[in-house]
Chain A
Amino acid sequence: MIKLAELKKFLIRRILTFLPTLIGVTLIVFIIAYVIPADPARAWAGGEKASQEAIARIKAQYHLDKPWYDQYWFLVSGLAKNTLIDPRTSNPVMDDVGKRFPKTFELALVAFFFVILIGVPLGILSALKRNTWVDTIIRFFALIGVSTPVFWLGYILIFVFFVKFRLINLAGFPAYPSHQITHIPMIDALLTGEFTIFKQHIGRLWLPGFVLGFQGAGVIARFVRNSFLEALSSDYIEFLKAKGVPKLKVYRHALKNALVPIITVLGLQFGGLLAGAPITETVFGIPGMGRYAIQAIQNLDFPAVVAVTFIFALVYVTANLVVDILYAVIDPRVRY
């Protein structure tokens, strides 16, 4: 029972430190939107080509003529209550972002699948075949993964799979399933049994997902190798070996203990995958959040930039929070 009380204390403390971080995020977003631009009203109205009346209208609409604390409150409450209107589309800006979020999330999910599918087995193999040519090749692959520019890999694979063999589709985005449960179309399609729609989504996203996950796979392979090796060299493994436990069982014990830090890094990777979306989505023409952010910047659409940046940070911070809590639940040693 004492352990559970400790966990509760840890959770409360962790969630309490979550709040200042969230406030910090809104502060930085505010600085990006209101403080950095030399002439915010003109910038929000579309830069050099904006007319005087447009500037005046935008100024009044977004409180750009008010003191800073009023501006800050306007921004934060606008983000929280979804009252921030995008001047270009006249929609509440969170609606626009919300429409694009599932696509990016889906992409990250597919990429995450590739990260695990490629990274974990390679890491284990690399550790088991330590200091052989297999290990060398896998380590080199991991370094290639970290060093390859995402856009370059993307275009090479587009050349192979689209231009040469016409195996993939690069236009539009498949339809959503008829019933929305989780609002992530791929999962909904599985839940409602609409497998053709699920197949369409996979068909559209497998290559972008692979490209996005390629870098993470290398990182994970390397990490799995190191933590598995560390587990293999611990005392309890020596003990098991001395006891004459079969090899496979020894590995299972080691893997179980190595899994805790691996899960943490995997969780952090997921946040990183979401953040890598702008480049991948631009290359593959996926109308997701990253692409939206880039278009918003090109159009100097400030509310959109603010909203997208805020949402990305929110997801990232939440992912970290979930990882921390999971870590504490799995491994009691961190609940100090």
Chain B
Amino acid sequence: MRLLSTWSGAIYAALIYGFIFLPVIVLVLFSFQGGRFPIPPFNGPSLKWYRSVLADSTLIDALLNSLLVALSSSAIACLLGFLAAYGLARHRLPAAGVQRALLTAPVTVSYLIIGLGLLITFNTFGVAKSLMTVGIGHIVINAPLCFAIIYSQMGAHQENIERAARDLGAADWQVMWLVTAPMLMPAIMASYFLSVTFSWDEFIIAFLLSRFDVTLPVEIWSLLRSGLNPKTNAVGSIVFLISILLLVVIELTVFQKVTRR
């Protein structure tokens, strides 16, 4: 009985893992396709599609745009989130509940609707669509996340630690710079990198709010119009690789520290 349940469990897990990995394996495998189509039979391996990606300046520009938007919008989102979390966690403010609800409200709304609202607003004020407008949209979706993560990590215990710093003579800015921010660094870094990965992968807001300079997901989207193409596989594999690297960085820098504490 026990053996049976172990076996059926193992088979079930294998099937689901297979299902989860099937598209990724197909994607990566056929990025090394020698032929013109990313479908069986596989005749490779060949790096020609990767060469074609690296030679495509539009794609490379889009990749750099994506990185720029992700890194800078996340920095602002993180800063806004941290300051708001500090204000709300450390002080008793009027209508704090309403403020918290307002700050986290954007996470409950579909990206499409946030994008449309911003599109209408920018149209109304005659703001041209650009990477800047995309970044603004990404801050709207990521700041609540940063706020929520950092706020949840601001415990009463740390409040005592800040008191101790103040007691020993630290001014407000010293408390924040020397104690609060370093103490919350794992939460801040986690929210920053999470925000980077979300922004890096976001399509619909970037699609609605960009025009000439586009981000990578939007560029991949237009690549899809050419149908099944191993070049898309190659781009997809590169994106996957970059995301995994980012994940490893988070794992090593942030979570190692968290678990050590």
Bind each other? no
